[in-house]
């Protein structure tokens, strides 16, 4: 795979290594957004069937991306917090049950669990990373596995840690969770689209994903997958389109007690969004064409030399056996000064993120090895 920067509109004056913050937009996605924005000038160009057809197309494309056999197990959501709230609301918890979370995971995958745990008198168990960087990812995964027991009702975590790219062994965690009948809920926002994932390989209970990062879509729209165990759940809102026979506009006031099939009940109101929905569809189609496995391979190719140089200079970075290639965190030692680094990177217009104690670097198909070389040269001079 070759660099695809020509498909984006990124300035040559900047070095953008910050896709984990927000992806740049594909030109093709922008074109679809503009076209659909202008359609609102003439509402007669939007027939009633358009309220439903674009939703189905997006759900089918997302199902294809994650290897889900049935697109009706997917839902259109406005945010990760919305998707997580639907999952948390429908988890069966008893007093004394445990919910396992990873320490310092993104807050949208914490607050709903904390609220439901407090309501049900359940316990939140946070699994901390080891302080020693030697085999850090391996030990962290072992700690998660060891924590799963007969009291575990749910494990809610990411595939890739949002701050430093640590990979979690979801296959092993899924196997252990099934032994105790525990749910596994995944926030895939920092991995899906850039790192391979398939429901067929890892049959988790739910996958929640924001659309504006590695899915390359617009802000305020994301996707979710809920397996059949959620088919009888209660959604956090009651939208008319999520009920049976809502396609018949003439009978909408004949109130319907039944929902549309499976996870359709969990889609956000106005998910037909005539601008954003086609944009996210186009972005996912491009990812399907590229294939996340190839994106991951490309990211490894352009980041390897940079990471080795930084490690030789004393920076701490998760070993590549336990880390994704598209996202990695650089931790400083006493020999490095964060303020000096921030100033240098700003002066050279290199865009990264600062998350906790890590400098988060995230590379994609629009980057080249020279972008990472510039970063490593500045940090090691």
Question: Domain spans of the chain?
Answer: 5-26+291-380, 43-289
Backbone phi and psi for residue 314, each to the nearest 5 degrees, phi listed first = 100, 0
Ramachandran sector of residue 49 (left: φ over 0; alpha: ψ -120 to 50; beta: rest): alpha
Specify the pLDDT at position 355. Answer: 87
Specify the pLDDT at position 132. Answer: 84
Q: How far apart are CA 122 and CA 107, in angstroms?
A: 19
Q: How far is CA 323 from CA 38, 79, 96, 204, in A?
A: 43, 25, 34, 21
User: Fold identical between 5-26+291-380 and 43-289?
Assistant: no
CA of residue 339 relative to chain centroid, distance: 30
CATH architecture of 5-26+291-380: Alpha-Beta Complex (3.90)
CB 100 within 8 A of CB 154: yes
Specify the pLDDT at position 212. Answer: 98
One digit per residue, the tens of pLDDT, for the chain of length 381 reads: 999 999 999 999 999 999 999 999 999 999 999 999 999 999 999 999 999 999 999 999 999 999 999 999 999 999 999 999 999 999 999 999 999 999 989 999 999 999 999 999 999 999 999 988 888 999 999 999 999 999 999 999 999 999 999 999 999 999 999 999 999 999 999 999 999 999 999 999 999 999 999 999 999 999 999 999 999 999 999 999 999 999 999 888 899 999 999 999 999 999 999 999 999 999 999 999 999 999 999 999 999 999 999 999 999 999 999 999 999 999 998 889 999 999 999 999 999 999 888 899 999 999 999 999 999 999 998
139-147: long-range contacts, CB 8 A cutoff, minimum separation 24? 140/102, 140/166, 140/168, 140/322, 141/168, 141/169, 141/172, 141/173, 141/322, 144/100, 144/102, 144/168, 144/173, 145/169, 145/172, 145/173, 145/176, 147/100
Q: Which CATH class is domain 43-289?
A: alpha beta
Encode 154-193: b = buried (16+ Cβ within 10 Å), e = exposed. Answer: bbbbbbbbbbbbbbbbbeebbebbeeeebbbbbbbbbbbb
Q: How far apart are CA 200 and CA 332, in angstroms?
A: 39
């Amino acid at each position: 795979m070759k660099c695809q920067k020509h498909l984006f509109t990124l300035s040559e004056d900047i070095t953008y290594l910050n896709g984990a913050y927000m992806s740049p937009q594909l030109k093709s996605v922008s074109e679809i957004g503009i076209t659909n924005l202008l359609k609102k000038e003439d509402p007669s160009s939007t027939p009633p069937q358009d309220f439903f057809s674009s939703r189905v197309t997006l759900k089918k494309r997302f199902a294809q991306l994650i290897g889900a056999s049935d697109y009706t197990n997917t839902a259109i959501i406005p945010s990760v917090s919305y998707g997580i709230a639907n999952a948390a609301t429908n988890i069966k918890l008893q007093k004394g049950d445990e919910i396992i979370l990873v320490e310092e995971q993104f807050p949208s995958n914490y607050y709903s669990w904390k609220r439901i745990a407090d309501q049900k008198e359940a316990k939140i168990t946070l699994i901390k990373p080891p302080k020693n960087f030697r085999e850090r990812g391996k030990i962290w995964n072992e700690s998660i596995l060891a924590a799963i027991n007969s009291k575990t009702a749910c494990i809610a975590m990411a595939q890739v840690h949002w701050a430093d790219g640590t990979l979690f062994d979801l296959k092993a965690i899924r196997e252990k969770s099934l032994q105790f009948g525990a749910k596994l809920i995944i926030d895939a926002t920092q991995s899906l689209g850039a790192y391979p994932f398939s429901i067929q390989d890892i049959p988790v209970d739910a996958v929640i994903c924001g659309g504006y990062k590695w899915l390359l879509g617009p802000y305020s729209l994301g996707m979710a997958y809920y397996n059949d165990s959620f088919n009888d759940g209660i959604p956090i809102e009651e939208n008319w389109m999520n009920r049976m026979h809502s396609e018949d506009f003439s009978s909408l006031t004949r109130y319907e007690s039944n929902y549309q099939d499976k996870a359709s009940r969990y889609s956000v109101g106005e998910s037909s969004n005539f601008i954003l929905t086609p944009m996210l569809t186009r972005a996912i189609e491009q990812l399907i064409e590229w294939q996340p496995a190839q994106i991951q391979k490309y990211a490894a190719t352009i980041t390897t030399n940079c990471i080795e140089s930084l490690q030789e200079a004393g920076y701490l970075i998760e070993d590549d056996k336990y880390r994704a290639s598209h996202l990695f965190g650089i931790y400083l030692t006493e020999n490095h000064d964060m303020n000096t680094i921030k100033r240098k990177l700003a002066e050279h217009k290199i865009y990264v993120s600062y998350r906790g104690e890590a400098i988060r670097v995230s590379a994609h198909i629009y980057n080249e090895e020279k972008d990472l070389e510039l970063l490593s040269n500045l940090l090691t001079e």
